[in-house]
Amino acid sequence: MRTVFRLIKIARVFAIYRLDTFLLELPLPGYLRFLLLLLPSRWLIRARAERSVRLRLALEALGPVFIKFGQMLSTRRDLLPDDVAIELTRLQDRVPPFSGVAAQAIIERSLGRSVHELFSDFSVEPIASASVAQVHSARLNSGQAVVVKVIRPGIASVIRQDVGLLYMIAHLVQKLWIEGRRLRPVEVVAEYEQTIFDELDLRKEAANGSQLRRNFDGSASLYVPEIFWDLTRQQVLVMERIYGIPIADVEQLKAQNTDMKRLAERGVEIFFTQVFRDSFFHADMHPGNIFVARENPSDPRYIAVDFGIIGSLTAEDQSYLARNLLAFFKRDYRQVAQLHIDSGWVPADTNVHAFETSIRSVCEPIFEKPLKDISFGMVLLGLFQTARRFNMEVQPQLVLLQKTLLNIEGLGRQLYPELDLWQTAKPFLEKWMRERMGVRAVYRKMKQQAPDWMDKLPHMPQLLFDGLQQIRRLEEGQARTRALLEESRSKRDSGRRKRAVVAAVLLCFAVGSAVPEWASLLGQTPWYGWLSALLGVGVLWRQ
């Protein structure tokens, strides 16, 4: 029954915000187009706003799960028109807080003690509320200020129900729209499902935060709050409380004389350090999750919170990505195309010349702008969109990377409009490539692997002997197989010859028996008919 009511609400929102206009822009079958034209909402309700604004408002009306889905879609510019993707980035996750008493009950049930035992002070009123969880301030018995994040009660069943409806819509899109299969809506929903259900287990977020804190331990660029594991469970996360200036509050940052150029460049450095040094990057770096420490504004330090979404790249992806970006800014489009093929991002049988031409046609106009105005994120987007036309599979790790890069880039230019992302990133990438590919890198890898080699060294003679034995057995097996094949082929050829001879003899006999009849009819001597029969017998005897 709840599902029925939910479907009715979706239909109502669909009508109010005239989402039928989106469908009518698609190459739908004629009968569906006709049905859409007959909808009462089409004739009774005017579409007053732009289509992108109407879509954003509709998602906000449908609630938290659809809002988060829209936020995720806003990062998929390979799937959406630019105007829609940009508008979806404005989705606001405004959710009324749930009862503080209910939050207290969840904390006590999860940790097995009352909040009065756990904390010297606990605020029942939340300081922030979102779709999946809300946050309360507290103080440990040691006196340290902390925040307590609590999962919203009953949210799992709501998410499960709404994700089921999203799957239903995705299947319909895939079946009814010609482009549906290429855009893979079911896979997009599956990716979203995994992300949002991961957010329901706060232990995963805590583990991500702990790892990020270790990676930047002692760093002057980024501070990550401490996680208190003894007070963290699936539905409860306790973390050090931080005090900083929200990164979007540019006026307050300027009021304390923050070095905005240094702050913007440092954000880029942090991103590339996470991606290439650690292969572990904060993939939800929107302004609400980033703060700036108040201490030392001339050498500003970032503070990151909310570690629910983390991205990582394999060593191969790191290498190909760095080489792709360096090749792109050198305008070496052949290498860019070849790297996409070598990495497996596009099929191995892709025509490299055609791919190179397509990349050049998309990317060359970008260089008409000054380097400081070139968008790194849009470069990646252009490359991925071109590659999609050559059957590039969706690479989730690259989608997260592109989303994070767009966030960082937008944030950096909001702080310092003259930010030249390439000038900041290029030295970092070149240094990383030297460290990875140079003589020192080879020596470092050998040094790292030396203990494994020493451990395996005593077993090498036996492994070598076993390997040679396997090779010998393989060769013997291949020889037996060849002999059997040769014998089979010989028998088959012999059978063919015998069948051919029998056919020839039968033909000779047939001709020999028939010719006397023809000869007697024509009054001729039949000696050559009998001769043909005798020849047939001779051939059979020889075989």
Local structure of 138: helix, strand or coil: strand
117 half-sphere exposure, CB direction, 13 A CA radius: 7
Taking phi over 0 as left and psi of -120 to 50 as alpha, with beta for the rest, 529 belongs to: alpha
The answer to whether 373 is a known catalytic residue is no
| Residue 153 tokens, joined | 């009660």
537 half-sphere exposure, CB direction, 13 A CA radius: 7
Q: Name the one residue in this structure whose structure tokens are 């099929």.
A: 347
Comparing CA positions, the residue from 60, 53, 147 lying closest to residue 95 is 60
Which residues, in sequence order, are bridge partners of residue 282? 310
Comparing CA positions, the residue from 432, 367, 430, 411 lying closest to residue 265 is 411
> Which one-letter amino acid corresponds to residue 508?
C
Q: What is the SS3 assignment for 246-273?
A: ECCCHHHHHHCCCCHHHHHHHHHHHHHH
Strand order from edge to edge, sheet including 244-246: 222-223, 302-304, 290-293, 244-246
Comparing CA positions, the residue from 255, 252, 306 lying closest to residue 283 is 306
Q: What angle do CA 146, 150, 154 make, to 5 degrees?
A: 175
> Which one-letter amino acid corresponds to residue 143?
G
- Find the catalytic residue in 20, 162, 284, 420: 284
Measured CA to CA, the distance from residue 512 to residue 478 in angstroms comes to 50
Which residues, in sequence order, are bridge partners of residue 281? 311
Active site residues: 284
